[in-house]
Structure 1
Amino acid sequence: MLIMKNVSKTFNPGTVNEKCALKNLNLELKDGDFATIIGSNGAGKSTLFNAITGAFFIDRGLIVLDGEDITYQKEHVRSKVIGHLFQDPLKGTAPHMTIEENMALAYLRAKTSKNAYFSRINAADKAKFREHLALLDMGLEDRMKQPVGLLSGGQRQALTLLMATMVTPKILLLDEHTAALDPATAKKVLDLTKQIVAERKITCLMVTHNMHQALELGNRTLMMDSGNIILDVSGEKRAGMTVEDLLEQFAVCAGKRLDNDRILFSQAE
């Protein structure tokens, strides 16, 4: 589903602020893969996502999604087939628009027709929105006319997840999408994520700071450092790994110990 070959990106080249964010990165995801990504701040995790979504064009390399070369495809075109959730619950929705209007925008954006934005949602679409909202078990199906800005962070993040997957994307990118939520709400959103990804068989990349989640969720674990993927484990090898094993593998592959306190604290969770 996703192929990235020798992908490189340097910000502010030739200046004192030059930063090589991605360096000859290679990654292949099969259709239906659910890979978790872990790494320290500055390892390149969010930059990897932005390269896939088209937030910027890469300097070198190739990005292919479902057989189509999207390396230099514009971001708004890619957004039709790529779902993206951020750590900040305030991103991904328009606060002054109603729940129904937000869902309509997401639904029409993902349509392949060139005139989709000029289409209108009908009664059947609204009924479908209500059905989707009911699955969240948050009572939002009875608040469709209310502005999204009145929702809690957890409700907004759950709504954003719903909007990103209403029309099944070719790939779903989750950038620590539960990190800003309280533990109970985070668990609910994460359970909902697992359910939607499994039912729709969506190819998914998920950044997490939690070492246990990195090994328990999905079918692959990736570790990043200095703009590259230094570890990629799956299958029986991954099934038999502990958090301590993962940390040891990072030290071997990166040539240094992992020094991110937030990640290390998750060992005890």
Structure 2
Amino acid sequence: MLQLIDVSKTFNPGTVNEKKALSHLNLELQDGDFATIIGSNGAGKSTMFNAICGTFFADEGAVILDGTDITYEKEYKRSKYIGHLFQDPMKGTAPNMSIEENLALAYLRASAVKGKFFSRISQKEKQMFREKLALLDMGLEDRMKNPVGLLSGGQRQALTLLMATVVTPKILLLDEHTAALDPATAEKVLNLTKRIVAENKITCLMITHNMQSALELGNRTLMMNSGEIVLDIKDEERKGLTVADLLEKFKEGVGAQLDNDRILLS
């Protein structure tokens, strides 16, 4: 479903602020893979997501999605088939528009229907929005006319997840999407994520700072360092691994201990 071939990206090249964010990165995801990604700050995790989404074009390499080369495709075009959630619940929604209007925008952006006008969402489509909101079990189906800005962080993140998947994307990118939520809400949003991904068989990449979650969620765990993937374990190889095992594998692959307190203390 996804291939990153020798992807490199350097910010501010030739200046004192030069930063090589991605270094000849290679990754291949099969259709239906759910891979968790862990690594220190600056390891290149979010930069890799931005390269996939088209926030910037890679300096070198290629991005292939579902057999199509999208390396130089504009970000707004990729958004039709790439779902993306951020750590900040304020991103990804229009706060002054209603829940229904936000869902309509997301639906029309990704829908294959041509020439569909925002003001002409049918009653059938509105009912579909209501049914999907009810599955979140947050009472949002009874607040469809309310502005999104009135929602809590957890409600907003759950809505953003629904918006990203209201039309099943080819790939879903989750950038620490529960990190800003309180533990109880984070668990609820994570359970919603697992259910939606499983039911729709969505290929998914999820950045997390929680090493236990990185081993328990999905079928594959990636570790990044200095813009490269230094560890890629999946299926049988991943079963039975502990956090201590993961840290040891990181040390073997990089030649140094993982020293990120946020990860180690989570």
Q: TM-score, normalised by structure 2?
A: 0.98
Counterpart Cα distance in 1 of 2:61 and 2:118? 36
Q: Do 1:109 and 1:116's aligned partners in 2 also have CA atoms closer than 8 Å?
A: no
User: How far apart in 1 are the matches of 2:158 and 2:191?
Assistant: 11
How far apart, in 2, do the equivalents of 1:230 and 1:115 lie? 45
How far is 1:153 from its partner?
Answer: 0.2
Q: Structure 2 stretches of 5 or more lacking a match? A: none
Quote how far apart the aligned CAs of 1:236 are. Answer: 1.4
How is 1:195-234 mapped onto 2 (pairs within 5 angstroms)?
195-234=195-234
Counterparts of residues 238-253 of structure 1 (less than 5 Å) = 238-253=238-253
Cα contact 2:220–2:238 (8 A) shared by 1 = yes
Residue in structure 2 matched with residue 28 of structure 1 by the alignment: 28
Trace 1:121-132 onto structure 2 (pairs within 5 A): 121-132=121-132
Identical aligned residues as a percent: 76
Residue 103, structure 1, aligned to residue 64, structure 2: no
Query: Secondary structure in 1 aligned to 2:120?
Result: coil
Distance of 1:39 and 1:115 partners within structure 2:
43
Normalised by the size of structure 1, how large is the TM-score?
0.97
Letter in 1 for 2:202: I
Letter of the 1:27 partner, please give it.
Answer: L
* Residue number in structure 2 paired with 1:257: 257
User: Which amino acid is the alignment partner of residue 110 of structure 1?
Assistant: A
Letter in 1 for 2:131: E
Correspondence list, 1:3-42, <5 A: 3-42=3-42
- 1:4–1:117 Cα change, 3 Å: farther
1:170-185 → structure 2 map (5 Å cutoff): 170-185=170-185
Between the aligned partners of 2:181 and 2:193, the Cα distance in structure 1 is 14
Shift of 1:120: 2.2
Whole-Å separation in 1 of the counterparts to 2:59 and 2:110 = 28
Q: What are the equivalent positions in structure 2 for 1:39-54 lying under 5 Å apart?
A: 39-54=39-54
Q: Return the letter of the residue paired with 2:157.
A: Q
8 Å Cα contact 1:7/1:62 also seen in 2: yes
Distance 1:214 1:89, change over 3 A: same
CA deviations on 1:130-154 (whole Å, 9 max, x unpaired) are 0000001000000000000000000
Specify the SS of the correspondent of 1:35: strand
Distance 1:29 1:216, change over 3 A: same
- Tell me which residue corresponds to 1:71: 71
Distance 2:244 2:100 in 1: 46
Q: Partner of 1:165 in structure 2?
A: 165
Corresponding residue number in structure 1 for 2:154: 154
Change (3 A) 1:119 1:80: farther
Runs of 4+ with >6 A deviation: none
Question: Contact 1:4 / 1:25 at 8 angstroms: preserved in 2?
Answer: yes
Aligned residues: 266
Q: CA deviation at 1:259?
A: 0.7
- Find the counterpart in structure 2 of residue 120 from structure 1: 120
- CA offsets, 1:43-95, max 9 Å, x none? 00000000000000000001100011000000000000000000000000000
Please tell me the root mean square deviation across aligned C-alpha atoms, in Å.
Answer: 0.9
Q: Determine if contact 1:108/1:119 at 8 Å carries over to the other structure.
A: no
Q: For residues 20 and 178 of structure 1, what CA distance do their matches in structure 2 show?
A: 28
5+ residue gaps, structure 1: none
Letter in 2 for 1:52: I
| Deviation for aligned residue 1:115 | 2.6
> Helix, strand or coil for the counterpart of 1:3?
strand
1:140 equivalent in structure 2: 140
Using the TM superposition, give the Cα deviation of residue 237 of structure 1 relative to its aligned residue in structure 2, in angstroms: 1.3
Distance, in Å, in 2 between the alignment partners of 1:59 and 1:115 is 35
The one-character-per-residue Cα deviations of 1:228-266 (angstroms, maximum 9, x if unpaired) are 000000121100211000000101111111011010002
Contact 2:104 2:118 in 1 (8 A): no
Deviations 1:21-48 (CA, angstroms, capped at 9, x unpaired): 0000000000000000000000000000
CA 1:119–1:144 in structure 2 vs 1: closer, same or farther (change >3 Å)?
A: closer
* Conserved? CA contact 1:6–1:24, under 8 Å: yes
Distance in 1 (alpha carbons) for counterparts of 2:112 and 2:26: 29
Amino acid corresponding to residue 125 of structure 1 in structure 2:
E
Aligned to 1:61: 61
